[in-house]
Amino acid sequence: MGNEEQVLLLSWRASVFGLRVQIALEEKGVAYTYSEEDIFEKSKLLLESNPVYNKVPVLIHGDKVVRESLIILEYIDQVWDLHGPTLLPADPHQRAQTRFWADFISKKIYDSGRRIRHSKGIEKEEAKEEFMRHLKLLEGELGEKLYFNGDSFGFLDIALITFSCWIHTYETFGGFSVEKECPKLMTWVRRCMERESVAKTLPSPLEVYQIACLVKKKLGFE
């Protein structure tokens, strides 16, 4: 398996996608080197290792390059299969459901969150409505379970929990309260935050908010 080769992660402090990879590596107890990218001036290594998208996160394991956060999570789960908990459920249908919602989060929660930060007027209102509607779908999927897949923290929890450090930012830009509308989901957030892999990885809501304001200014959105 070659799982003793060096592991290097190219990421960005506030990347919901990069943070997923960090939590997965922590869960598996994999030692890795973290390399912070300037998203406005990307490194040669990033551009060369992800020429199709030029985006973080990129995991470099020995001489192998793995891109796209959910694909990296599957890779980590397979390569370090005997290190720490299995992230994906074993049952084929539960796996399919996990992959479906993880993909939904990557597309929909990310997109509506971005639009809350960078739009105005009716477009912002639509983004807020969409964001809350999507969170409610996820809250329904969680149901009364402790974690998305039942009693143990796993793949889908990792896919979503990284958005939690952005909630304060979405709320501040959007003028709404996630706690008020999705109290069960916020209870799940607090449960995940008790986990060392999550608590030590996620930046504070205030740090994310400061980064988000800087990014907005640099991108020229006012």
Given the rule CB under 8 A, which residues bind a copy of itself?
Answer: 1, 52, 61, 64, 66-68, 71-72, 74-75, 78-79, 92-93, 95-96, 99-100, 103-104, 137
Q: How far is the CB of 104 from a copy of itself (least distance, A)?
A: 7
Nearest CA to 13 out of 33, 31, 38, 30 is that of 38
Nearer to a copy of itself, 103 or 123 (CB): 103
C-beta closer to a copy of itself: residue 47 or 96: 96
CB of 67 to a copy of itself, least distance (A): 6
Nearer to a copy of itself, 127 or 202 (CB): 127
Could you give the CA distance from residue 29 to residue 156 in angstroms, rounded to a whole number?
Answer: 19
What letter would DSSP give residue 163? T
Q: Which is nearer to a copy of itself, 99 or 168 (CB)?
A: 99
Instruction: Judge whether 161 and 198 are in contact, CB under 8 Å.
Output: yes
State the minimum distance, in angstroms, from the CB of residue 40 to a copy of itself: 24
Tokens of 206: 């205030």
Question: ∠ CA 6-8-11 to the nearest 5 degrees?
Answer: 170
Pairing state between β 33-36 and 64-67: unpaired
- Closest approach, Cβ 71 to a copy of itself, in A, equals 5
